Amino acid sequence: MCGIIGYTGKSHAEKIMLDALELLEYRGYDSAGIALLHQGGTEILKCTGRVKDLRNLCALKKPEGFCGIGHTRWATHGGVCDANAHPHRFGRITLIHNGIIENYRELTEKYALEGHLRSETDSEVVAAVVEHFYAGDPYSAIRRTVLKLKGTFALAIMFDDQPGKIYAVRNVSPIVAALTGDGAILSSDVAAIVPFTTDYFVVPEFHVACLKPDGIELYDLSGDQAKIDWLKVDWDVSRSGKGGYPFYMEKEIMEQPEVIRETIQPRIRDGRPDFSQEQIPDEILSGCRRICVIACGTAMHAGLVGKSLIQAMIGIHVDVVMASEFMYNDPVVDKNTLVIAISQSGETIDTLEALKFARKCGSPSISIVNVKGASIARASEYVIYTNAGPEIAVASTKAYTTQLAVLYLLTARMAMARGLWSDEKLSDFMKELQRVPEVLERVLETKEEIHRLSGTILNARDVFMIGRGLDYSILLEGSLKLKEVSYIHSEAHASGELKHGTIALITEDTPVIAVVTQEKLKSKELSNIREVQSRGARVLLLIKENETLDEGEKWSCVYRLPKMEDPFMVMPASVVLQLIAYYVSLDKGLDVDKPRNLAKVVTVE
């Protein structure tokens, strides 16, 4: 959470930082600020609100300088106000921070800071501690400060008497750095670096990077120079903009056929699933007795679909655990448990910590991550990258369907490794998987019809979503999508559970979205739909195109999904639910890409 940027070089730092903060705004948008270090001293401009508000402030104050740091905040410690916005300044130190300093109270006491701080943030405390230790050697002050900190941090620091230099250090929270051609840049993720270069490196934990106009130096905490491991952004850089769509969410929904193709094609050889590029040995897939998926939010919902697939097709037990709860339920994982961590950003701290714990217990691990080189990818034994490209909208869409695509591939490879399927069955499964992109294209061609159907819930206060089995799993994701971008209260329910309590809430004012795609569950699902209809609910039904419906019944709203084999129906149904959420948010005039209170990358527990 929080976007951080730093630039030093020959260009005007203010412009570079404002442009970068706009690209990073999806990481947090409570307040924004920049600081410029120049001959006349350090100048800070910050305000609550969005980067556009900061831009207006800058247009008024016209700050100048060639070395600066900037921040867009997702509030943790201290409310949303100008004083709590970053950068923070104490004595000769100016600093921005992403993360949480758990022992900030003890530090406040130890260094007698009470009464000297201007904000309520843990970050200002860090600036004060750096100031305390600073006696002309930035490395020594940073080293001594870092040894006192408990918690997570990505820090970019400027010292008044070190013109043109930005120092960076981190624990858990990410920082990447690069050369721009006329200077050096650092950021919390590559989104802000891509306009300058595709070569970058991840600042290793507990190392100090020093950015200067003519290069970058890296040192470990004992003061020894460290080697920089350069990486290459392998996104199609043209994917970074909105591509003519009003919001990233729509663009990312529309990209799904293409990015699913790009995720599955390189992993199919001779018609079979192939993870040799990832060097994943078959033994890890054949040897485990159970699987534990750890993930949060949308990624966890992908895991639930994976559970249904693997249990049904491989016959081994799969637990899907909310990463944020993993540690608090005395997890039972061991060398016979394959842990699969799923994360778009690869930085979600709950998932990262759960993964590290599982590895300590001896579990083999595979992560499914979208961002190359991210912490979760580096912390796991094997990694499978989803080739979704940058996902900027806070609401996850293409990351989810590419995670599903990887889970289908893994299921098939597991079946192969265990000798469970005939060649014919494997070939049918893989052919169906390869049909997904074209099926999604068909759904996307009907987006205007889906837009019209979304009107049926536009003014609802509450929406219920019902289904069974796989249909229930995708509704959990559909419901999350709707509530996060439209602010409509929505709940997904296993339809058989309704009569155990929730049906009391169903009235003519609670529209219900029902998904019926699983042949073996159809008649039960339709009975549950009749139960809510007879309580007055208007039902929007998503059902396969070939299913016959009783003409005598009141089917006012039906969307016909292109037919796939049942395990794959998740794909078209999910895209319809994504579009419904998108259009409701759009028609309510909301900021679709940046829903309130949220951030794209969740690096706080």
Identify which of residues 113 and 296 has a Cβ nearer to ligand M6R in the complex.
296
What is the token pair recorded at 152? 């997570």
| Cα gap 364→25, rounded to integer Å | 36
Check residue 348 for interaction with ligand M6R (CB under 6 A). Answer: yes
Check residue 298 for interaction with ligand M6R (CB under 6 A). Answer: yes
Check residue 375 for interaction with ligand M6R (CB under 6 A). Answer: no
| Cα gap 478→473, rounded to integer Å | 9
What is the token pair recorded at 578? 């994504």
Identify which of residues 124 and 347 has a Cβ nearer to ligand M6R in the complex.
347
Which residue, chain included where needed, has tokens 């930005």?
Answer: 166
Check residue 585 for interaction with ligand M6R (CB under 6 A). Answer: no
Which residue of 343, 495, 574, 578 would you call a contact of ligand M6R, by CB under 6 A? 343
Q: What's the angle, vertex CA 119, arms to CA 115 and CA 120, rounded to 5?
A: 90
Which residue of 98, 152, 396, 585 would you call a contact of ligand M6R, by CB under 6 A? 396
Minimum CB–partner distance for residue 598 and ligand M6R (Å): 7
**Among the candidate windows 211-219, 292-300, 310-318, 521-529, which touches ligand M6R by CB under 6 A?**
292-300
C-beta nearest to ligand M6R: residue: 297
Check residue 365 for interaction with ligand M6R (CB under 6 A). Answer: no
Identify which of residues 521 and 602 has a Cβ nearer to ligand M6R in the complex.
602
Check residue 602 for interaction with ligand M6R (CB under 6 A). Answer: yes
**Among the candidate windows 228-236, 296-304, 413-421, 580-588, which touches ligand M6R by CB under 6 A?**
296-304
- Decide the pairing of beta strands 231-232 and 207-212: unpaired
List, in sequence order, every beta strand (DSSP E) within 509-591. 512-516, 539-544, 557-561
**Among the candidate windows 32-40, 389-397, 504-512, 515-523, which touches ligand M6R by CB under 6 A?**
389-397
| Cα gap 84→565, rounded to integer Å | 53
Q: Catalytic site residue 361?
A: no
| Cα gap 599→288, rounded to integer Å | 35
Question: How many residues sit in the footprint of ligand M6R (CB under 6 A)?
Answer: 15
Check residue 303 for interaction with ligand M6R (CB under 6 A). Answer: no
Question: Is the bond preceding residue 87 a cis peptide, omega within 30 degrees?
Answer: yes
Q: Which of residues 456-485 bind ligand M6R (CB under 6 A)?
A: 480, 484
| Cα gap 380→134, rounded to integer Å | 37
Identify which of residues 192 and 294 has a Cβ nearer to ligand M6R in the complex.
294
Check residue 256 for interaction with ligand M6R (CB under 6 A). Answer: no
Check residue 297 for interaction with ligand M6R (CB under 6 A). Answer: yes
Bridge partner residues of 540 (DSSP): 513, 557
Minimum CB–partner distance for residue 70 and ligand M6R (Å): 23
DSSP 27: G
Check residue 24 for interaction with ligand M6R (CB under 6 A). Answer: no
Residue 330: count other Cβ atoms within 10 Å of its Cβ: 6
User: What is the 3-class SS of 262-297, one letter each residue?
Assistant: HHHHHHEECCEECCCCCCCCHHHHHCCCEEEEEECH
Check residue 345 for interaction with ligand M6R (CB under 6 A). Answer: yes
Residues 6+ apart with CB under 8 A from 462: 488, 489, 490, 491, 505, 509, 510
Q: Catalytic site residue 150?
A: no
Check residue 486 for interaction with ligand M6R (CB under 6 A). Answer: no
Q: Please tell me the number of Cα atoms within 13 Å of 119 on its side-chain side.
A: 26
Secondary structure class of 204 (helix, strand, coil): coil
**Among the candidate windows 140-148, 313-321, 338-346, 504-512, which touches ligand M6R by CB under 6 A?**
338-346
What are the φ/ψ torsions at residue 50 (nearest 5 degrees)?
Answer: -90, 175
- Which residues form the catalytic set? 2, 600
- Residues in contact with ligand M6R by CB under 6 A are 296-299, 343-345, 348, 351, 394-396, 480, 484, 602
